[in-house]
Every structure is written in structure tokens, then in C-alpha cells.
Structure 1
Amino acid sequence: MTALEKLKKRLARIRFRTKAVHGAEKMALFISAIAAAVLVLPLLYAAPLRDDVVYRWLVSLSAAGLFCWLGYHWFLKPLWQCVFRRNTPSLEKSALQIGAAFPQIRDRLSNALQLMRDMPKMDEAASALAQKEFERVHQAVAGLALEKYISTEQLRRNTATAAGLLIVTLSFAFIFPNTYRDALRQLLTPYSRPAQAEYAFRVSPGDVRIVRGTSLEISASVADVQPRSMSLHVLYDGGFEETFSMQPVAGGPFRYTLENVQESGRYFLKSDGRSSESFQLDVVELPDIRQMQLRVRPPAYTKLPEMKPEPDVGLVSVLAGSEVFFSVLTNKPVREAKLLFSDHDPVILKISGEALTGKVQIRSAQQYSVYLKDSAGLENANPILWQIDIIPDQRPVVEIVRPGRDQDLDESRRVPLLVSGEDDFGFTRLDLVYSVYRSGEKERSFRERLNYVSREATLQAEYLWDLQPAGLEPEDVVVYHVELFDNDMISGPKKASSREYRLRLPSLMEIFAEAGEQQERSLENLDELAKNTEEIREDVQEILQEFRRNPELDWEDKQALRDASGKQEKILDDMQTLGEQLDEMVDRMENNELLSPEILQKYQELQELIDEIATPEMREAMRKLQEAMEKLDPENIEKALEAFQQEQEQFARNLERTINLLKQLQAEQRLEESLRIAEEMVQKQEQINDKARSESSPEQQSALADEEMKQMKRLEQLQQALKSLQEKIAELPQIRLPREQVDAAQKTAESQELMENLQEMTQALDRADQEQSAQTGQQLMQQMQQMQQNLAQAREQMQQNQQAELRQALQRGARD
């Protein structure tokens, strides 16, 4: 294909596309005109002249003429140009039009085509020039986008206008179909008279079903017409009819609200003498509760009776685990019924006609409601939300009434316990829980089940606790409490723990040390009482001598006698307190089997002597003196003073005897203490020696070394007891204590050899040197046995001396 042919073909294509775009523009204008005409058509027929036949013909003919003119110029002619006149205009003219759009071409393209058309008529030279000119033009247009000559901007604007008008027109036709239908009919048949407009009611909600007692809003309008008035007519199934005047709302539809509708029926509307079709009004009744009765069955362990609240009371408080029974009566038969809970699975209710039953076990607080659905699928509206609260099952309470305090264990290692407890519903078990601590570390733990007696909501248990099986050693501590479990079988038995108490097994040294301190305090108190007694006696003696000189007592004398009487009364009270303290000390030592029968007997004698000090005669003398002073009888006052003085002198003698006896007991007890410590040392050393031979591991030997260290502490205690005993021997030579044996025991206790052996034994055990520990242990055993033997002989000698003194006293009494 030659360059000329390619160019012509390109220009022809551009010419066709230009004509097509121009034709499309005209067609879009035609569509816009038709849409606009249809849009305004109802306005033409809405005018008062629509009943004039001439007016109708004029409108129809004008519309037809306009349609034909526009159809020819904007539709048929462009279409004819594109289909049947494809080669018009000429290519030269098209080239000239295209070149006008490109300044670098202008008419050159059109001229080149004319030259190529006329070239056969030219000579050879002119043809060559024409060919060169064409080639230059062809090269110029080859790189140009000649198609840009075709502009579609107007086509887009016309198309958008047509589409907008079409959308608006179709929308109005859809909204007012009757209006446009009548207008088109008048346009097409101008000779026919306009028909009366149809009265098309638009009613909402039409056929309807509502719940009895609710309200119903009815709205209505007439298509294409704004009525002057409208009324609502309701014909109930009961046979009566009601009429209501409806009111328009701001130029909109007419509305009326039927309040509290109770009966079904049909309704229709009237306006301008015309009536709408009738609509069904169905009034239905939602399922609902007529009555609800609850019944609560508490858990079996509480032994509480069933509870039945008042009818229609759904708010209850129950114990966890209670069963709640529901009995419900509905207003109509239902197809489905269940209880809905906030924190529990739904519970299906059993249906029997209008009666519903069901039960649920409540373990936590719940909110619940009753769900109902009838055979028509209607559900109960806005069910009441009820509450079930939980009454807490209180924790039990338990306490140890006896001993109810920390205390030391005696040698029997038995503790009488009295435990009391309370709970709201009952108990399942009572446990005694205790742990043994040795050297501050927990050694082992125990738990014992205790028997108890319960009555209603209280519990009491008495138990003689024997700690012998616990294998306690001196200075061990027992920490104990009791645990009480209630009988809550729903959430599980709840536990209550009593306060913790401590029992301690004191060492022999501690008990003797405490007894020694108590004796020292008692002696100090007795010495102070003796001093006070002597002062009172001197004061009374002085008052008595003054009274004999002058029987008249002044105020100062009376006050002095009152003070003396008060001081004496306090002394008697202090003596009683002192006797009670000594009793406690003796009881403790006796319970720990630390008193020999001879010393125990003397303590009893001491207690009897203390009781005899505060004689009834002393108190009687004090009373008579007080009465004589009140009566101001000189003779009676003198007698009372003399009697009071005599009782004081006897009191002073008894007090002196008490002090001497207590000192003697103190010395004898020091001897007993020394002997017991020596015996304990022998016993412990024998145990250490046996274990040292049989237990060979380093850990066992190290533990024995710790035990040997305790032997040193016992030795220090023994040295102190012997030193105190020597002081008492020096202070009381009249009690004839066997000093020679005591000296021998003290010499051994304070010997350097004994201390060195103890240290060597400890070191050998630390080294796990069994041979050395066996040898040193044997030497220690001999030394300790020697101390024990000396002290035992001293006690035996002392008892013989006391028996000899007793025989001598009896012989003197027989001679007298």
C-alpha cells in the first residue's frame, strides 16, 4: 500500500469518526428534549384548560411537530450521514478541516492531496515537484496525532444532560404513575374527554396484628390528591362501630392513634365521599404470668424446714445448695416455657395446660426471668427480672477454753483441754493440730481427731492430751491449735482455727532456777514483813503506854491506831499471797517430781505455819480495837490494845519460825537440786557414750558434740547450786548439813580435769574420733558418778541428822 493510500485511509477513518461523534451529540440532544417534554407534560394537562379540546389538540399537534422536527434534525439526519453518506465531505475538505487544528500543517495537507490528484495531468518535472511536496507533508503528519482533531467534550456534556433528564423524568413517573399515564393518554388522544381522577388511598399499616392493650397509629393519604378531610371507621367483632376524625400532619398524610385496643375488627377510611378498602385488625394476647408461687427447700445438712414465700413474690434469699421449686400459672396455654438465669443454664419448665412447674438448685446469687412462647410464636413482653440472693453459711468459731494460754509442761506431760465451738448448722469433725519444735526448728507435726458433744449449734470437747508419745525432750516447744469443720456439704466444709498456743517442756535447770528465785523473793518478802511487824508492835506499845498515862485519845492517837491496824491487815493479806505463791511453786516441782518426800513434807509444814500466822485471834483483836475506839470506852480500849499487842508478839514469833524454816528448806532444796543435776548429767553422759560407740557417721557424731556442750551448761548450773548450798551451810550452821560430802562434790565439779575432759570429749565427737571419745567418755562418767555419789551421801546424812534431832526432841518432850 502506497503512502498516499495509507494517508487517504487514515483521513477517511478520521472523517467517519468525526461524523459519528457529531451524530451522537445530536441524538443526545434529541433524547434530552424528549425527556424534558415528558417531564413537563403533566403540568400542561394540570392547567384549567385541559378540558378544552382545542387546547388539547394544540398541545398534541405542537408536540408532534416538535417531535418530527427534532427527530429529523437530531436523529435521522445524523444517522443518514453516518450510514448512507460515508464519503462526504471530500477528503480534501476533511484534510483542510483537520489541518486548521494543527498550525504546522494548515492547508498543506489539503493542497498535497489536490496535487496528487492532478499529478497525471502534469509534465515530468511538475510531477517530481508534486511528489516531493507530498512526501514532505506526509512526513510532517506522520508523527502527528491527527485523531485529536476529534473532540468528545460536547458529546460528554450532552450525554450527561440526557442522562440527568432521563433519571429525573423516570423518577417522577415512578412516583406519580397515574399522573403521567393520564397525561400521555391525553397527548395521544386529544379528542377524548379527560376521565375523572381515581381516588387511590394509601393506608398504613394495612392489615395488622397488635397486642391487646397497646396503641395503633394509622396514617393515610390519597395518591395525587390532597383531601380536605378524612375519617377512620372501625367495626369491632363485637358488632359496634367507632368513627374518628383524622388530622393531617404538616401537609403530609392524615394520622390517628387508637389507644388501648382491646378487641379485633376491621377498619377503613372515608374522604370526599369515597371509601377505602377495609383492613383486618387482629388483637392478640401475649403469654403472661397470672400467678407464680415459689417453694424453697434448704440443703439437707441444715435440717431447716421448707420455706414458702407469699404468692407472686419472686425475690428470695436462700442458702447455697437450696432447691427452689417454681409453680406458674399463665393467662393462656403456651408452647414453650423456661427460666432464664444470669449465671446458670436455662431450666425448661414442664407444661400442663396453663400450669408450669420446675425446679433448680441455687449455688450462687442469680437474676432470673420467666420466658414464655405460645403456639403462634408470640413471646411474653418485658418479663420481670427477679433476684435470688445467697444467705452465707457462716464459718464456724472455735476456741480453746482450757488452758487457753501458753504454759509449761510438767513431768506427766499431760494437758487437759476444753474446747468450745459454734456454727449455724452443725459440725463434721474437730482436729487437734500440733507441731514439735526443737532448737527453733520444726521437728515433726501431728493431727488427732477429737471426740465432741454437740447440741444444736454449739460444740464442747474435753480431752486429756497425753504428750508422752511425742518423745519430747527438755526445752522442746509444742505449738498447737484446734481446727473445726462445719457440715456444709454443698460448698465443702468450712474450717475455723483457734488461736495458737505454746507448750514448753522446761529443763531441770530451769525449774530449779525458777524455784530458787521464788524462794529468794519469798525470803525477802518475809524479812520485809518482819520489819513492818516490828514497827507496828513498837507503835502499839508506845500508844498503849501513853494511853495508860492519859486515857483520853486525841485525834493523832486514833489515826495512829487506824494506820497500825491497816498495816497489820495488809501484812496478813501479803502473807496469804505469799502462801499462794509458794503453793504454786511446790505444785509445779511436785508435778515434775523434783521434791523428795521429806522436803515436800516440810513445805506442807511451812504452808501450815503461814496459815497459822494469820490467826482468827489476830483478826478478832483488830476488830475489838476498832469497836472500842468507836465507842470511846477507855477500859475496853486498854483491853483491846493489850490483846492486839499479845497477838502481834505471837505473830512475830510465828513469822520468825517461818523465815527459819524457809531458809532450811532453801538449803535442803539446793542440795536436792545439786543431786538431781548430777543424776541428769550421769544419765545424759551414759546416753552420749552409748551413741558415740554405735553411731559412726560424722553427722551423728556432730549431733552428740552438741549434746556434750549441753553437759557443760549443766555443769555450770551444778557449780552455781553447790556454791549457793555452801552459802546456806555457812549461814545456817544449826541445820547440820553434811559439809564434807558437799565439799567433795564441789571440788569435783570445779576441777580443771572435769572441764578439760568435757572439752576434749566435745572435740573428739566433732572429729568423729570414736576411740578417743570412748576413752574420755568413760573418764567423764566416773567423775560425774563420783559427784552424784557424794551428793547422795550428803542427802542421806542430812536425813539421818534430822531423824536424830526428831528423836531427841521427842525424848525431851517425854521427860518434860
Structure 2
Amino acid sequence: ALQVYEESRRTSIYSSELSETSLVKFWEDFVVQAKAEGLSGSSGELSFEKLIDRKPKQAARRLFLAGIVIAALLFLPAPMHFVDALHRVVHFTERFARPSPYQFLVTPGTKEVLKGSDVPIMIRVIGPGVRNIVLHLARTAEDQERISLSSDSSNIFRTVLRSLRMTTTYTAEVQGYRSDEYKLIVVDRPLVKSLRVLLTPPSYTHLAAHYLEDNVGDIEALAGTNATIEVISNKELAQALISFGDSTKVPMSISGVQAVGSFQVRGNGAYVVSLQDTSKLTNSDPIVYRITVLPDEFPTVEITQPGRNADLGEDMKLPLLLSIRDDFGFTKLRIGYRLVHSKYEKPRQADSYVEVPLPSGQGSELKIPFIWDLSKLNLVPEDALQYHAEVFDNDAVSGPKLGRSESFVVRVPSLDEIFAQVEEEHKDISKTLEVSKEEAEKLHQSLQEVQQEFLKTQKLDWQNQKKIENIGKRYEELRKNLQQAAENLNQLIQNMNQNKLLSPETLEKYMELQELMNQLNSPELQQVLKKLQEAMRNLNPDLFREAMKNLAFSEEAFRQSIERTLSLLKRIQIEQKIDELRKRAEELRKAQEELHKSAEQVNPSDAAKLNELADKQGDLQSQLSSVEKELKQLKSRMEEFPDEMPLQQLTRAMQQLSTQQLSSKMHQVQRQLQAGELQQAQQIQQQIAQGLSDFQSAMEQVQKALQENQQREIVNQLRKATNDLLTLSQQQERLKNETRSFEPNSQRFREAGEEQAKVIENVGNVIGHLIQLSQKTFAVTPEMGRELGKALMQMNQAMSGLESRNGGFASSQQEGAMASLNRTASLLEQSLQSMLQGSGAGGLQSLLSQLQQLASQQMGINAMTQQIQQQGMSLEQQAQMARLAAQQAAVQKSLEQLAEEARRAGQREKLLGDLEKIAEEMKEVVKDLENKNIASETLKRQDRILSRLLDASRSVHERDFEKRRVAEAGENVQRQSPPELNLENTLNRLQQDILKAREEGYSRDYQDLIRRYYEALQNLGVKVQ
């Protein structure tokens, strides 16, 4: 290019401006211009290679290669020195220390190591005579360390830094010369800084989700529980896993230093949390956490009522109370049963089931009342079912588990069995009363012996004390026997009522008998015995005399109560036996009519069926024979009370049964059925049925005659006692008025005393008359006896006042005696009116029947309410709920009316309280139904209502052995005598009270009684306005 340039300039081709311009900058323009001016031809002829001198270039190349060879020869023996020298040459302006004569080769040099790991260090020193070196360690400015090292056989210095926890800087030193500085950078493994476990139990448990305590990873939970593991690490994570003992793994979601994963608890085991950071470091020795599956317990069920083998009543219904328990809830409850004994069928091997409704809003422990209706099973007498209860829990994970109760047997007893049991229990109760009566007589004799000995010696010694203690123990044992007899009587009444063996009249008498037996548990006698023992211990003769006097009275009343109870029991047994025979006649007639229908429908060629009918006819013959025997026993019992019993009517019934020869006819029908002579057998069966119907009517007449005879006699005696007491009250009042006006020196005190003695004698006669009457009827009550006893006590005190010429005191006591006589007459009149109206005969049975009907209605309402609650609230169900509200309100109104009737009839306070509580519960249920709000509490209320109705119906005839009387120790009472009585003002005031009584609703009978009493007072000559 330069040659071209020089040539162009010499030939003056280029201008002077172009020559002075940079060749490089305008080279492209020059080429273009040269082409334009035809210079390409001249350049093409030139040889450019000839113009280049290659010698300087080749000399430079040889010199460069020689330098490289020399440098290589110098570098190989001491490369580091060469490098250092080269560094100093390049940086010629800096000052450098004299180079070290030693060369350090350090392993591992600068490196990242895991925290806690051991780091081996190896140092090789190149230099003259190196035997020892010093290793300098620096963790912090304050934490520095020197380690002297000796070389091994291979001239290497070795050491190990154990469990390195902090980043450490280290250098090696030999004779003041140090190696370069190296650093061991400590890095952490990923680890779990925080762990939280959220447990979500299975939905069927209705338990809330909850966290375990922080950093607690051991899991104890039900199978099916969802466990969520929340982890926070010390480093950013790349991966996290939940690893189980069976090698399965569950990946966790990663977000920075956080990881979350979940799994479902299925069985016992263990797990760890495995972490990996972004440097692919993993956590070492992760904590092993246990997984323990808590058991979902099996449900349990118990048949708490009846809780024993039982007999079915006539209604073929078995009331059950089922107690079920589980930790979380239930899905199904049922009764399993099978026939295990029958006269006419083979026992069953497989169970059948009846479902028991479960209330919604269940708890872990429930009591489920259920009335099991077995009438659809067509059971016959002597059939026996074995039954049990089964309950399933609500375990939705492992499947519902089954709990089973103990098995019981329910039988359909035959009438023979029922009446045989009744007879046996009657005998046991009668025997207990007989033995108790004898024991009471012995106790009476023992007390008399102690008293006579005291009267002789007037001393109290330890022997008498022991006798009194022994008498107390014997009385306590006697009391327990009577209490057991009362409980047995209660069970007997329940059995007879359940099987409808008693007429309402007889049932009421049994109830009164039970009440009387409860009263035999005399607290008064117990208190007196305690006082007597206390007097013996204190050796107090005065206290002993007083206690013996009170004991004589209480002990005599106790013996009379036993005697009365026994006498009444014998009479009631006769009534029960009449009821029994009437019932047997009715059942025999029904069975014979049913057998006649079966004979009409049987196939004459069916020999097996004919033999079965023949066997049934034979069973009826056996039952009739038993009836004939019972008739003879009944007649024997009636003959003990010939004046009271309808012996004539019973004799006619027995003659009628004997004349018709029903037993022989039954035997004839049995043979005809076996022989296939159906037509003849059916004709005689009709005759037998008619004969049994006649016998049933005859026994109803016997029963009616007995009731009429008893009522007639008792009414007459009650009227006589009432009139006698009113007459004695008039005499006592006249005597009181006369005594009040006596002067202290009056000679009339003696005459008044004689008249008072006659009144006392006549009152004693009335008392004796009532005691005899009390052994025939319950119309004579203990309250009457207390009033008469009070009247006698006050009359005796009046006698003392007359003897001491204290007219005021005597008159006040006579007034009190008159009031007691009047109250006794009033009580007798009430009993009389009750008998005449028949309120006591059927009231109790009617109350029982109505309660059972209400319980049945309530059961239907409960079932419909539960069904609506489970199905939801459609328009149809809303309308149905309104009808249920009306039905519940109707049941509530009926119950309130029933409670009012029970109150008027004088039923027990406990029963009235129960009925009132039930009515209040019903009001709340009605409100819920009207508001269309069926909550779990609504269903619970309905269950309580049904349970209480059933309890109330049972308590009507159980009587609960209530303790109505409370014994109180006697005390001396001193008070001022009242002022003189103004009869005219008193009668006017009492007439106003009668008008007030009418307004307030007192019974007409009571008003009539008060009116007759005031009329009797007027007959004494007192003018009444």
C-alpha cells in the first residue's frame, strides 16, 4: 500500500491534500477513486511480495522462542519462586519483604465444613531442616489457639479439629515464616426449629380439631384422625418428607423455611421429619415420634328394666328400659329374640329383630324406654322367648361395632301358673303375719314380766336392762319381717294388676291393705323402746314408769294393727279368689269358643291337626278340674266368716257346674276329635261354651253379692258409730256447760264425775265397736283412732279436774274431748259417703288406665316428632307438625284434668307432683312444635315425658313404701284455759262458714255433715239465727 502511495505521489496522480491525509482513514475512498481513474491496471502489474523484507521478522521469532525455553527451564525447579519473582517484576514500584525460604502445602485449605464435623488438616513444608511447626487457629478475635505439630515419617504435619462449631481461620508458622491464611467455613445442616401437630378427629366423633403442645410430635389419636405436621427449619428448604417406619414417605409442601404435610392415622407406628436444604444437606438423626392409635371402645347395652326373667301380662306388652353407653354415639338399637319353648311349635334357632328408635342429638349415655308389643307374635300360654338387646356404635372408620346385653326370658304364663304363684305369695304373707302376731304376743308377755318385777322390787338392775335390750332386738327383727312382707305384697299386687286378675274394688282393697302394712313399721314404738332402754341405762325409776306406760299403749296398738291386717288379708283373699274363679271361667269360655272355631275350620283328613285340637281340649279339661278344686277351697274360706259371705250363691254356682258335667263332656270331645268325629264334637263344644258362660255369670253374681253384703253391713255400722259419737258429743257438751258454772264447793262435782265416767265408758264401747269394724273394712282409719284416743285422754283429765273441784280445767278438757268426738264423727261420715258413692272402688283403676292411655298417645307423638326431625322441614311436614302440636296440647289438657281428679280423690302428693311436672314439660314441647323448632332438647323432653308417664302409671299401684307418719317425742304442754264459749255467737259464725264453704267449693257431703252437727247442737235448746 505504501508503494502504491509513493508511486502515485511521484507521478502526480494524487493531489497534495490527499497525500497529507491518513492513508488508513481514506483507504476505501482511494480504492474507489483509483478504479475510476484507471489505476487498477498499473497496480496489477506490480509484485508486492518482492517489496517485503522478511529477515527482521524471522530474527524476532527465533529470539522469542529462545526466551520461552529459557523461562521454562527456570520455572520448573521453583515455580513459586518464579511466580513471586514475576509478581515483583510486574509490581516494581512496591516494596517487598525478603522471600520465605519455606513453601507451605496446606490441605484442605479454605473449605466449607458441616457444623460438628471433624476436620483433618495436613501441612507439608518445603524448606531446609523443618521438624516442628506451629498451627495458629483463630475462631474470634478473643478465641485464638496455638498448636505445635511434629512431622510424621513422611514429613507431613497432621492434626484433626474435632467437632467444629464455629468458622475458624488457620495458618502454619515455621521460624517466623507463616503460610497463607486459610478458613474453615462452618455451615449448618437443616434442622427442625419448631414443630406443631394439628389433630383433626374423624367426623363421627364430633370432636374439635386441636393442636398438640409445641414441639410435641408423639401422636395418640383415634384411627381415621388426620394429622397435619407443621415444621419450621433453620435454613431454606429444598425438600421435606414425613418418613414412616414401614418405609413409606409423604412429601411436604415447601415455602422457604416452612414445610407442611399431613397423613391419616391408621395404626400404631412411628415417623420422622426428613429435611434437605438448597445445598443438598440433610438433617442428621431426626427425632423419631410415636404414633399410638387410641381404641374406639365397644358400645354397651343393658336391659335395666325388667333386668330379669319376666312373665307377660294380659296386654302382651313388655316395658323395657335400655341403658346404652358409647364414647361417641350410636347408629342402631334393636331387640333380638327367638322362641325357645312352646307346647305347639318347635324352638327357633335364628334370632328375629325389632328396631328400637334412637333419639336424635344423641349423647354418650342414654336411657331408652321402649314398650315391646308382642301381641303380633301370636304367643300362647307357656310360650317362652329368649331376648337380648344389641347396639351399634357410629364408628365410620373401622365400621360400627356391636354391643350385646345379657339375655333374658319372657314367658306367657298360663292362668294356672299365675294363680298358683298368687296363692303361694298369699300363703307366705299370711304366714309372716301369723308368726308376727305370735311374736308380738311373746314380746307383750316379756314386757309384762319386766314391769311386774319392777313393781315388786322398785329397782332397776342389769338383768332387766338386758331383757329390755333383747326385747328391742326381737322387735327390730319383727319389724324387718313385716317390712319384707309389705314389699312382697306390693309385688303381688303388681303381678295381679298386670294380668288383670282383680276387679277395681278388690284392687283398691289391696292398695289399702298395703298402706296398712306399711304402717306396721311403727316409729312410735321404736321411740318408746329407745326411751325405755335409756331409763334402764340411767337407772331412773320415774322415767322407766313413764316409758312403760307409753310402751304399753304403743305395743297394744301394734299388736292390734297386726291382728287387723291379718283379718283384712283373709277377707281380701276371699275376694281375690272370687275374682280368680270369675277370670278362669271367662278364659275357659273364650278358649272353648276359639277351639270350636278351629274345629269348624279343620280338615277332617288332617290327623295331626285333629290331635293338636284334642290336646288343647284336654288342657281345658285339666283347667276346669283345677277350677272345681278352687271352688271347694273358696267355700272353706268363706265358712270362716259365715255372716258376711254369700255362701248360698256360691253353693248354687258349684251345683250348676256339677250338674252340667262339663268335665266329662270335655273328655268326650277329646275322644271324638281324636276319632275324627267333628260334627258330634262341635255340638258338644257349643254346650260346654254355654255352660262355662253360665258359670261365669254365676261367679259374677257371687262377687256382686259379696260386695253388697259387705257394704250393707259396713254402712250400717258406720252410721251407728257416727250417731253414737254425735250423741256422746252432745252429752259431753252439756256436761261441759254445767261444769263451767260450778262453784268450788258445789256438790254437783260428784254427779258430774259420775256422768263423765258414763261418757268415757260409752266412748270405750264405740272404740271397741270400731276396732271390730276395722278388721272388716279400711273405712276405719288410724286418724279416727288417734282422735278417739285424744278424746279419752282429755275426758280422763276432766275426771281429775272434777275430783279436784277445778271446774275451769275440767270444762276446758271436756271441750277438747267434745271437739275430738266431732272430728271423729266427721271422719266417719266422710268414709260413709265415700262408700255410698263408690269413689274408692274404681277411681284408682280408672286413674291407672288413663295414665297408660296417655303414655301410649305420647309414644306415638314422640315417634312422629323424631321422624319429622330426621326428614327435614317440607311444607307437608310443617302441616304435620301443627297437627302434632295440637295432639300434644290435647294430651297435656287430659293430663291436667287427670291430676285435678287425682287431687279431688285424695291421691298421694308425690303422684300429683309427678303429674304436674309432666304437664309443665308438655307445655314446653307444645311451644316448640308451634314454633316449628324441633331441637334436640325437644326430643329429650318428649323422652322424659314418656318415661315419667310410665313411672307414674307404675307408682299408682306401687305406692313406693312412702313414709307418711313422723314420730315425735311427747312433751308437757302448759297453756291458759280458753275463755267461756258463747254458743249463740259460735253457731251464727259457723253458719256463715257453711255459706262460705259452698262458695269455696267444699263437697256437699261435708256440708251436710256440718249442718247435721249444728242441728244437733240446736236441739240442746240454743237458739240459732
Q: Which TM-score applies when normalising by structure 2? A: 0.48
Matches within 5 A, 1:586-735: 586-597=493-504, 599-600=506-507, 603-604=510-511, 606-607=513-514, 631-633=540-542, 643=553, 647=557, 650-651=560-561, 654=564, 657-658=567-568, 660-662=570-572, 664-665=574-575, 667-669=577-579, 671-672=581-582, 674-686=584-596, 688-690=598-600, 692-693=602-603, 702=608, 705-706=611-612, 708-709=614-615, 711-730=617-636, 732-733=638-639, 734=642, 735=645
The CA distance in 1 between the partners of 2:680 and 2:226, in whole Å, is 79
Does the CA-based 8 Å contact 2:123-2:157 persist in structure 1?
Answer: yes
Summarize the Cα distance change of 1:210–1:786 in structure 2 as closer, same or farther, 3 Å threshold. Answer: same
1:798 matched residue in structure 2: 702
Deviation (angstroms), 1:296:
0.6
Give the alignment partner of residue 785 of structure 1, picking from 677, 685, 689. Answer: 689
Does the CA-based 8 Å contact 2:599-2:613 persist in structure 1?
Answer: no
1:73 matched residue in structure 2: none
Q: Are 1:363 and 2:270 matched, yes or no?
A: no
Secondary structure at 1:434 match in 2 = strand
Secondary structure at 2:353 match in 1 = strand
Give the alignment partner of residue 504 of structure 1, picking from 396, 405, 411. Answer: 411
Secondary structure at 2:314 match in 1 = coil
Amino acid in the other structure paired with 1:341? F
Amino acid in the other structure paired with 1:720? S
Give the alignment partner of residue 446 of structure 1, picking from 340, 344, 353. Answer: 353
- Give me the CA root mean square deviation: 5.4
Range moving further from structure 2, 206-215 or 494-503: 206-215
Summarize the Cα distance change of 1:353–1:526 in structure 2 as closer, same or farther, 3 Å threshold. Answer: closer
Deviation (angstroms), 1:674:
4.0
2:862 matched residue in structure 1: none
Amino acid in the other structure paired with 2:329? F
The CA distance in 2 between the partners of 1:265 and 1:548, in whole Å, is 118
Secondary structure at 2:339 match in 1 = strand
Secondary structure at 1:410 match in 2 = coil
2:433 matched residue in structure 1: 526
Range moving further from structure 2, 520-529 or 486-495: 486-495
Does the CA-based 8 Å contact 2:245-2:271 persist in structure 1?
Answer: yes
Deviation (angstroms), 1:445:
1.6
Does the CA-based 8 Å contact 2:222-2:295 persist in structure 1?
Answer: yes
Matches within 5 A, 1:369-384: 369-374=272-277, 377-384=280-287
The CA distance in 1 between the partners of 2:112 and 2:524, in whole Å, is 112
Amino acid in the other structure paired with 2:628? L
The CA distance in 2 between the partners of 1:578 and 1:720, in whole Å, is 28
Summarize the Cα distance change of 1:691–1:269 in structure 2 as closer, same or farther, 3 Å threshold. Answer: farther
Q: CA-to-partner distance for each residue in 1:477-529, whole Å, 9 max, x for gaps?
A: 44444444444444444444444444333232221111111122233333334
Q: Are 1:429 and 2:331 matched, yes or no?
A: yes
Higher share in strand: 1
1:327 matched residue in structure 2: 230
Range moving further from structure 2, 671-680 or 555-564: 555-564
Amino acid in the other structure paired with 2:313? D
Does the CA-based 8 Å contact 2:199-2:227 persist in structure 1?
Answer: yes
Deviation (angstroms), 1:382:
3.2
The CA distance in 2 between the partners of 1:379 and 1:636, in whole Å, is 100
Amino acid in the other structure paired with 1:742? M
Secondary structure at 1:450 match in 2 = coil
Does the CA-based 8 Å contact 2:329-2:363 persist in structure 1?
Answer: no
2:490 matched residue in structure 1: 583
The CA distance in 2 between the partners of 1:703 and 1:234, in whole Å, is 118
Secondary structure at 2:575 match in 1 = helix
Deviation (angstroms), 1:795:
0.6
Secondary structure at 1:411 match in 2 = coil
Amino acid in the other structure paired with 1:729? K
Range moving further from structure 2, 571-580 or 605-614: 605-614
1:754 matched residue in structure 2: 666
Deviation (angstroms), 1:329:
3.7
Compare CA radii of gyration and give the structure with the larger one.
1
Q: Are 1:774 and 2:681 matched, yes or no?
A: no
Deviation (angstroms), 1:448:
1.7
Q: CA-to-partner distance for each residue in 1:20-78, whole Å, 9 max, x for gaps?
A: xxxxxxxxxxxxxxxxxxxxxxxxxxxxxxxxxxxxxxxxxxxxxxxxxxxxxxxxxxx
Matches within 5 A, 1:241-260: 256-260=159-163
The CA distance in 1 between the partners of 2:530 and 2:256, in whole Å, is 96
Deviation (angstroms), 1:729:
1.9
Identity of aligned residues (%): 27
Does the CA-based 8 Å contact 1:432-1:483 persist in structure 2?
Answer: yes
The CA distance in 2 between the partners of 1:454 and 1:353, in whole Å, is 46
Does the CA-based 8 Å contact 1:413-1:468 persist in structure 2?
Answer: yes
The CA distance in 2 between the partners of 1:490 and 1:780, in whole Å, is 68
Summarize the Cα distance change of 1:776–1:616 in structure 2 as closer, same or farther, 3 Å threshold. Answer: farther
Does the CA-based 8 Å contact 1:534-1:652 persist in structure 2?
Answer: no
> Please, which runs of 5 or more residues in structure 1 have no aligned partner?
1-200, 765-771
The CA distance in 2 between the partners of 1:314 and 1:347, in whole Å, is 16
Matches within 5 A, 1:17-416: 211-217=114-120, 256-260=159-163, 285=187, 287-299=189-201, 300-343=203-246, 345-374=248-277, 377-416=280-319
Does the CA-based 8 Å contact 1:265-1:281 persist in structure 2?
Answer: yes
Q: Which TM-score applies when normalising by structure 1? A: 0.59
Secondary structure at 2:382 match in 1 = coil
Summarize the Cα distance change of 1:293–1:803 in structure 2 as closer, same or farther, 3 Å threshold. Answer: closer
The CA distance in 2 between the partners of 1:462 and 1:410, in whole Å, is 18
Does the CA-based 8 Å contact 1:396-1:484 persist in structure 2?
Answer: yes
The count of aligned residue pairs is 601
Amino acid in the other structure paired with 1:794? A
The CA distance in 1 between the partners of 2:228 and 2:404, in whole Å, is 37
Amino acid in the other structure paired with 1:437? L
Does the CA-based 8 Å contact 2:437-2:563 persist in structure 1?
Answer: no
Give the alignment partner of residue 741 of structure 1, picking from 640, 653, 671. Answer: 653
Q: CA-to-partner distance for each residue in 1:659-711, whole Å, 9 max, x for gaps?
A: 541453364255335424523531452354255249x7x6xx64774565355
The CA distance in 2 between the partners of 1:561 and 1:243, in whole Å, is 107
Deviation (angstroms), 1:427:
1.8
The CA distance in 1 between the partners of 2:484 and 2:216, in whole Å, is 68
> Please, which runs of 5 or more residues in structure 2 have no aligned partner?
1-103, 342-346, 722-1025
The CA distance in 1 between the partners of 2:215 and 2:566, in whole Å, is 90
Secondary structure at 1:384 match in 2 = coil
The CA distance in 2 between the partners of 1:532 and 1:235, in whole Å, is 111
The CA distance in 2 between the partners of 1:556 and 1:664, in whole Å, is 47
Secondary structure at 2:217 match in 1 = coil
Summarize the Cα distance change of 1:528–1:725 in structure 2 as closer, same or farther, 3 Å threshold. Answer: farther
The CA distance in 1 between the partners of 2:232 and 2:563, in whole Å, is 99
The CA distance in 2 between the partners of 1:487 and 1:612, in whole Å, is 52
The CA distance in 1 between the partners of 2:212 and 2:441, in whole Å, is 83
1:74 matched residue in structure 2: none
Secondary structure at 2:602 match in 1 = helix
The CA distance in 1 between the partners of 2:381 and 2:596, in whole Å, is 17
Secondary structure at 2:292 match in 1 = strand
Deviation (angstroms), 1:798:
1.7
The CA distance in 1 between the partners of 2:410 and 2:298, in whole Å, is 27
The CA distance in 2 between the partners of 1:807 and 1:428, in whole Å, is 58
The CA distance in 2 between the partners of 1:330 and 1:702, in whole Å, is 88
Secondary structure at 1:337 match in 2 = strand
The CA distance in 2 between the partners of 1:541 and 1:268, in whole Å, is 123
Range moving further from structure 2, 555-564 or 318-327: 555-564
Q: CA-to-partner distance for each residue in 1:407-442, whole Å, 9 max, x for gaps?
A: 333223444444444444x32435132314252435
The CA distance in 1 between the partners of 2:534 and 2:216, in whole Å, is 79
Secondary structure at 1:363 match in 2 = coil
Summarize the Cα distance change of 1:739–1:361 in structure 2 as closer, same or farther, 3 Å threshold. Answer: same
